[in-house]
Structure 1
Amino acid sequence: MKDRLEALKQEALEQLHKVADGNHLIELRVKYLGKKGALTEILRGMGSLSAEERPVIGQVANEVRGAIEALVEEKIDFFQRLATEQRLAAEQVDVTLPGRPMKQGAIHPLNQVIQDIEDIFIGMGYRIAEGPEVETDYYNFEALNLPKDHPARDMQDSFYLTEELLMRTQTSPVQVHTMEQMKGEVPIKVICPGRVYRRDDDDATHSFQFHQIEGLVVGKGIRMSDLKGTLLEFTKKMFGSNTQIRLRPSFFPFTEPSVEVDVTCVKCGGNGCRVCKHTGWLEILGSGMVHPRVLEMSGYDPEIYSGFAFGMGVERIAMLKYGVDDIRHFFSNDLRFLQQFARI
């Protein structure tokens, strides 16, 4: 039996030295060391040995097993190192190749316009105020001098959730919240950016959801000339230093007097073109002096305090600034459109 074990050892080591790949190595390990392998087959005959021979043969068998296992482990390490080297060689980076530019994201053009507007007014001493998009009928209408039977409500066809809750149609309710929070203190200088909702047509210039930025100033001795100066400064910084404005009488329930504000056409500079319908002017926002009733309902004595308010549609400003002719482009998520405005 000892001779058989030595012969098995010599055969196994010769075969293992010749092995060329990992799969063949596994087959040889099973062949010689497995439960049905050659070594196990020889050791089954130990029962026929005498008590003196068994320890000797057992020691020889352990030496044979140890030698085979040691060479198997050595070959396993070799094939693992070889596989690692081959993988690294295949994955090697050619540093002489030109770089591949990584695409970066950018701020959405509407968010960029909002940030630009905020920066302009923050530079004039305003702070940003925000409020809920789901509002009560009181804050969205009644506190702004629009009682339930007021015909001007038809201009803001609304999304009602209950009889008293609706998706806000304007960011003006934030102005009321701000005045109530200030509890009669002055001055107030805020702008209120945010999304608003109206059951409007879905066409090139209208959307059921859009963005507004409204402004409010309340204090003592606030005049219409302050409003005009503020809006002139804003438009010059937004559209260019040569921009001029004009105020046209209008009507809003929450301001009195009320005016529409036009700017010289961003396309032709006021000379007249197709964009401005050859008038030289483009409408951008509505404004006016805060109605005494609105001041009074928010805790301010209109005999002592006055103020002005204005509101603009962000999409309208963006369309004029960038020459976009369809509001739906801003919500289409078309990268071909959005990449034109990336500031990278």
Structure 2
Amino acid sequence: MTQPVEAAPISVPGVAKTDHLGDHGYVRIEGLRKEFDGFVAVDDVSLSIRQGEIFALLGASGCGKSTLLRMLAGFERPTAGTMSIDGQPMDGLPPFQRPTNMMFQSYALFPHMTVEQNVAFGLQQEKLAKAEVARRVEEMLTLVQMSKLAKRKPHQLSGGQQQRVALARSLAKGPKLLLLDEPMGALDKKLRSQMQLELANIIEKQGVTCVMVTHDQEEAMTMAHRIAIMDAGRIRQVGSPDEVYEQPNSRFTAGFIGSVNLLEGKIGEDETDHITIIAPDINGSIYVGHGVSGYEGQEVALALRPEKIRISRDEPAQPHNKIKGTIEDIAYFGSHSVYHVTLPSGKKLLVNAINDRRWASEHFTWNDEAWLSWGENEGVVLSS
């Protein structure tokens, strides 16, 4: 399988580059690689994860994120590379000797055991005193607000309650590293949204370091302190939720997180305080209010988020970055609407607009002409 070619980001003054491997990582992964019969599932991954951090591995199915998680847990042996937790090498250690615990997507609760028995199981395997087991179980059930349901069995619980029990069992032994495999995957959308912040708050209260795997962007953006975007076994970008959204380092990450408009063109003027992009998509030029490390004639794209574009009936007074188009489609989402606007060049742009009136149709409707505009620093310049 060929590896994707990553578009290099245009360097912007004042914007720090992301370092995947810091100097003081609590969890350190260096040069990790995993092959299955010649197929490279994880390709030379290096990461540094801070103590107490909730770190998300985000990517589509088959990108390698679950394989990376399983190697941290000890369920898969790396083909190459090293891992350490709190300075302790994990190389060759079986799962039961690692200071980790994993919460699976299916929760994997024992159906014949009660809630408290499920939470106590791992502690009993450690041969702890009964009094210590009871104390720890009560502490965990109080933490996840399940004390009143301690005598129930899993089939008597809702999906959200089962998730809390699985989390309590995972935290009971006090792991240094908690591993979450698609933690919300078994829940319906409404319950999943409710549980995201609740789960994150419980983990933060315990102060445990957490690595979670998900393909759900909203889940990663809501729960994680930092996100690593994976594709074809590689880390494409690491950063806080706002960093990966507002400052993507490539076309791939710009398109993977949320919705984005990519306006193609070439650098025209190349000055220290601004550049222009000659863009056939808008039959004109785009003004960018800062310099970049590119050069005149370089092929680039401006990544412009739909919510950064303003839509109006009247022509904006600004001299740059405006164009008139026709509304072809409208997607109504209650709080906001997404307008699909076709430009004279044939290029379609997505525009998000808040519905601040009682009826969204009072703004625009199908086939209306509308002016689109955006600020000089609203987009991100990416090389092709």
- Could you state the TM-score of these two structures normalised by the residue count of structure 1? 0.21
Higher relative contact order (CA 8 A, sep 6+): 2
Larger Rg, first or second structure (1 or 2): 1
Higher strand share: 2
